[in-house]
Structure 1
Amino acid sequence: MTPFHLAFPVRDLDETRAFYGEVLGCAIGRSSATWVDFDLYGHQMSAHLRPQATGAARDGEVDGVAVPIPHFGAVLLMDEWERLAARLEARSDIDWLERPMVRFKGEPGEQATLFIRDPSGNALEFKGFRALEQVFAH
């Protein structure tokens, strides 16, 4: 089984780190001034600081790219992610939010990612890693 990925909005990163890290005992992964990753029983939970007065569909940021919050998806091994990305790119009916790209190139946790919307407007992210050990690398 591969781990799931869930991004969720938070009002304060310090209190979020304290709760997930100290109260729940989650290991803390990569982070920035606007988000922090947690290892929740092997699953990647990404807490994103949500601006108070937004309303935009894209109100988070990762590696300099706007991302929709909330979103959910799956973490895949790279071969499977590449097959999915090619299948989606071959279709004309995909509602793309971010086309396939690589984040954190050459750094721990390097990953491929893509964002789409389902027919109901839910944002989904699919991530690809060369090795699952890199999911929480920092």
Structure 2
Amino acid sequence: MTRPAFHLAIPVDDLAGARAFYGGLLGLPEGRSTDGWVDWDFHGHQVVTHLVAGPRPEPAGHGTVDGHPVPVPHFGLVLDVDAFQALARRLTDAGTGFVVEPSLRFAGQAAEQWTMFLLDPAGNALEFKAFRDETRMFAR
């Protein structure tokens, strides 16, 4: 592998629902699996959905970014603008309920970006974003 990749394990309460969401809706390739977990190729990163019984914990809270409440914790991915727009169309066409609709944030500023937040069926929050200029991702 030519670049670092992350590994993230997340709890789900239904592997069939996780497969429909991560494999079907998001279109992620499925890797190894057992009766208790499924690996997903999250654009070169490993996300593992682990079956965990019992009640789901509530989100810790919300932060405010550019006037929008965003769920905390969350995880996600930075895509290029074309991939972001294609995913946003796919999710919108599927009738996805967004926490934050696909929108442009920080317009005209160094960190101008497209962003959207949604929940998986188990309530895990995901953010997808795309910077107008990825070299400015950490610009102040």
Q: Which has the larger Rg?
A: 2
Q: 1:86 & 1:57 partners in 2: Cα distance? A: 29
1:74 corresponds in structure 2 to 77
Q: 2:70 & 2:131 partners in 1: Cα distance? A: 19
Q: Quote how far apart the aligned CAs of 1:130 are.
A: 2.5
When residues 104 and 97 of structure 1 are mapped into structure 2, their CA distance, relative to the original with a 3 A threshold, is same
**How does the TM-score come out when normalised to structure 1?**
0.57
Give the alignment partner of residue 67 of structure 2, picking from 56, 64, 67: 64
Structure 2 alignment gaps of length 5 or more: 6-57
**How does the TM-score come out when normalised to structure 2?**
0.56
1:106 corresponds in structure 2 to 108
Q: Quote how far apart the aligned CAs of 1:132 are.
A: 1.6
Identity %, equivalent residues: 46
Deviating above 4 A after TM superposition, structure 1's stretches of 4 or more consecutive aligned residues are 1-4, 55-58
2:120 corresponds in structure 1 to 118
Contact 2:79 2:130 in 1 (8 A): yes
Q: Across the two proteins, how many residue pairs are aligned to each other?
A: 88
Q: AA paired with 1:98?
A: V
